[in-house]
Amino acid sequence: MKHPKPKVVVSKCLGFKKCRYNGQTIPSHFVELLQDYVDYITVCPEEDIGLGTPRDPLRIGKRNEKLHMVQPATGDEVTEKMQKFTDDFLKKLDDVDGFIMKNRSPSCGINDVKIYHHLDEPTGSYRGKGFFGGQLKDYYPEAAIEDEGRLNNFKIREHFLTKLYSNARFRKINKKQQMKDLVKFHSQHKYLFLAYNEVAMREAGKIVANHEHKSEEEVFRSYKEKLQEILHKPPIYTANINMIQHAYGGISDKLSSREKKFFLRSIEEYRDERIPLSVLIQLLKSYAIRFDNEYLKNQIFLEPYPPDLMEITDSGKGRNY
Ligand code: SF4
């Protein structure tokens, strides 16, 4: 299967430059792994607003009910500078498929940043949005957005990559806006979307059928919104089973009774968390090749992203998202 190269904005300190406040970098294995498979756009909001490296760390806290960003060591405030940089940078980005941000950073953190209840009396705090990372969803609601810490979890990583590559495939056909491309896109993603969100997948099918004879521009706009709904959160395991059963239904009549028994038993093993979903997918892939089933062979769920990016390491937080 041929995969596009998604555009990904990434925090520069994740292995690209020693730009952290203390002059260090934090290499990320996942960011490195993706290097040859995506087009990276690096960003370091703190350097980009003119703070040097090394620099005094920043802090976010409330003063007069408003959030401020300051360097407590000097008392310098950078709230407006950071907001202006964020607006300018995110507005002028061309289409982008995803973001990988440094976690816990007051600038790049997405939603796990320490925010002080009172900027001037830093006693109590809560977790909230970073000044730059916390605004990504407002500008790019359809993008795959994660921090490098959460990407250590297999389930989160798998969802991130699936969404990232689906976005990139859609971005490609959205440029020309030809209906035949959209029909093919929807058909090839059918089983993947069935697992993600069956109701939204069927509504997307109606958008593609276009019985109201809307313009290509309108159809693609509506489909893009629906795609965002479909890929909003990863499938639960029962939805995966439903999808596997549908795909199996397309080739089961060609299998021997022993093969059928084996496949159905494997589904039960997946249900009981004794084997991963990838075992069932590989079995279906082997049947698609063996029976030369074009429809099944072209289904994206068999390979939603480049296989070299598949790593089964996990932070141990289980299969729930
Ligand atoms: S977390 Fe963001 S702002 Fe901080 S050093 Fe890394 S890239 Fe720069």
Give nearest CA residue, ligand 1 atom 4: 20
Answer yes or no: do 143 and 158 share one domain: no
CB burial of 262-293 (b: ≥16 within 10 Å; e: otherwise) equals ebeebbeebeeeeeebeebbebbbebbeeeeb
Of 133, 152, 171, which residue sits at a domain end?
A: 152
142 and 158 belong to one structural domain: no
46 CA distance to ligand 1 middle (Å): 6
- Separation of 104 CA from ligand 1 center, angstroms? 10
> Which residue, of 104, 129, 152, is where some domain finishes?
152
Q: What is the dihedral of CA 85, 92, 39, 22, to 10 degrees?
A: 0
- How many domains are contained in the chain? 2
Residues 161 and 60 grouped into a single domain: no
Measure the N-to-C terminal CA separation of the chain; round to a whole number of Å.
27
**Ligand 1 binding site (Cβ under 6 Å of any ligand atom):** 11-13, 19-20, 44-46, 102, 105, 107-108
pLDDT at position 123 is: 81
Q: Residues 148, 194: one domain?
A: no
Range of the domain at 105: 7-152
CA of 102 to the centre of ligand 1 (A): 7
Question: Ligand 1: which of 11, 43, 55 to mutate, judged by most atoms within 8 Å of the beta carbon?
Answer: 11
Instruction: Record the pTM.
Output: 0.94
- Cα 28 to middle of ligand 1, angstroms: 13
Residue 2 lies inside a defined structural domain of this protein: no
147: region left, alpha or beta (phi > 0 left; psi from -120 to 50 alpha): beta
Q: List the one residue out of 68, 65, 78, 5 whose CA is nearest residue 41.
A: 5
Mean pLDDT by 10 residues, the chain (321 residues): 96 98 96 97 98 96 94 94 98 94 98 93 90 97 96 93 98 97 98 98 98 98 98 96 96 96 97 93 96 96 95 59 51
Regarding whether 178 and 320 lie in a shared domain, the answer is yes
> What was the pLDDT predicted at 311?
79
* DSSP single-letter state for residue 117: S
Non-local CB neighbours of 272 within 8 Å, separated by 6+ positions: none
Nearest 5°: the CA angle 319, 111, 27 is: 75
**Ligand 1 atom closest to Cα of 47?**
8
| DSSP H helix total and E strand total for the chain | 13, 9
Q: What is the distance in A from the centroid of ligand 1 to the CA of 125?
A: 21
In a domain, 308, yes or no: yes
Closest atom, ligand 1, to C-alpha of 109: 1
Q: Mind listing the pLDDT tens digit for each residue in 69-119? A: 999 999 999 999 999 999 999 999 988 999 999 999 999 999 999 999 998
Residues 25 and 131 in one domain: yes
Domain-terminating residue out of 123, 152, 181: 152
| CB-count burial class (<10 Å; 0-12, 13-18, 19+) for 308 | exposed
Residues 184 and 136 in one domain: no
The pLDDT score that the predictor gives to residue 314 is 60
pLDDT given for residue 309 in this prediction: 94
